[in-house]
Chain A
Amino acid sequence: MSIDLETAAKVAKLARIKVEEDALAALASEFNTILGFIEQLNEVDVDGIEPMTSVTPQRLKRREDVVTDGNMQDKILSNAPDAREGFFAVPKVVE
């Protein structure tokens, strides 16, 4: 599998990271190096092997489905780059 410029641009778009046109070739080449390394996994016989979901065999704990936290709007907004009237502010989303 080889990554071309178009694929590199698509991945950058999916990751929501702006990559300038002239940087795509270097990026694609780095991807190819890393993916080339990862390709070794194809040598392993994984027939009938379960993909790991949890490294320690434990059942996730459950708790009552009740509110345990809240009422801290000021704390939640305290680190926002732009907060107004109790909300996170972002550029216009809908025309």
Chain B
Amino acid sequence: MYRFPTPSAAGLGQGPHWRKFSSTTLHVTGIALVAVSVGLLACTLLEVLTTGRDTAALALSTLLAGTAGAVLWYLTRPGTVGKRQIFATVAWTWVLTTGVGAVPYVLAGTFATGGAGFVEQVVNSVFESASGFSCTGSTVMADFDNAGRGLMMYRQLTQWYGGMGVVVLAVSVLPFLGVGGLDLISAEAPGPNSDRLTPRVSETARRLWIVYAGFTALAAVALFAADGFSSVYDAVAHAFTVASTGGFSVYPDSIGHYGSVAVETVVIVFMILGGASFTLHWRAVATRRLPHCHNSEFRAYLLLLGLCSAAVAALLWATGGLSPGSSLRAGVFNAVSLGTSTGFGNASGPGSAGDYVAWVAGAQLVLLLLMVVGGCTGSTAGGIKVMRMQVLAVVMVRSLRQAQAPRAVIPVRFGRDLITEGVVSQVAGFFLLHFLLVIGGLLVVTALGGELETSLGAVVSALGNMGPALGEAGPTANYADAFSQPARLSLALLMIIGRLEILPILLAVVPHVYRARALTRVLRR
């Protein structure tokens, strides 16, 4: 059990801490909401300066989120942080932030199209918010013209917040955090481990956000240049979602709207970098060298993307009736988009070259494989992660070798490092839980009326935070047409579970299960 030392306990300030309610969850949620309200304020100003359609909704949302966040931040203080509290804090912070994040859509009536009732509007808003904060990129938005530029920018911004993580953001402004802070970051960060960039955890979180912001700015400049310096709004909006590997676009046909090879190339480069570890990026900036070349995970990641892109392009060329150039363009873009869990599309419409739902099944299966694997650890990407897949591959080979030589002691190596049996068990357990969640999610979503192929794609996509799925929820379709309202809510939950890498949400529930089992045992006696 870890305790956050209060300022007064550290002798650095005197405040009425004895009056404050001790809750790390509410405290961190408060900070996260304040951060979201800052983004909302910027979007309100943008809305005022541009379309002006959703100004009132955005202003009210800013006020609500800001007030709620400030009240929670001020009235609470970080309490005792044990393992369970850490997982509960992260899980509840995400659930509450997603809930509050849905308010602007509800107030603006973004989903009030096609005679949707209030409940359906709320469901769609929660889905869109969850898809945003979890960097999934699935959408239920049918009419993109029904939202002002400010609200659309807010939608993009939710992915940017979710990319690095609202808890990491909160930790960066929380002073005097010890080991508990690193555990909080670990519980939220994608991947099995979190590197400390500096001795102080809050400084580590701050540096991660700095490199993230710098990366986003660079992406915005590159996109602005690639689009012929035509729209700052477009460049910034897409930079937010390419850096976070989220995949939301301000256009219904995503990157296919531009029809430009230059834009697609820039997006591919930044998607690949977004799917790599930000710790590596920081070290590259700090040391002015490229540590990526010596990182076995990054090399495997590039190899996987390269091989799958080539395989998809070859299959399209051989079976799709496309020219070599079109096959290469469509294959590489979509393979990288789904392999980095971004979810951008380059299809100009249903049945066009980039619409992978119309591709041969083999190519779709390669994309499904990429959706399962995802990006690198420490990146903003989702999926199981390349490093875990590498460990699983080594474990599989070891177990097959041990079947032939049962007494052999075969260590598991990752690059030059030995991996402990604890990590091996953890990775195998994670894979198994992921697999079980896919099966469970598929059962639930199909039971709620989803079509089989579409549901399979959507569940894998939601857990891996990809965005577009297969079948009726492909890159040129939206989820509202493919799934019922309860199915959409289930998928929203899966998105958050996938973003937090399963454990925090499950571990917020498991203690109760163990308690119930213990109670059952007592009753049996």
Q: Do A and B come from one complex?
A: no
- Could you tell me which B residues sit within 8 Å of A by CB distance? none
- Could you tell me which A residues sit within 8 Å of B by CB distance? none
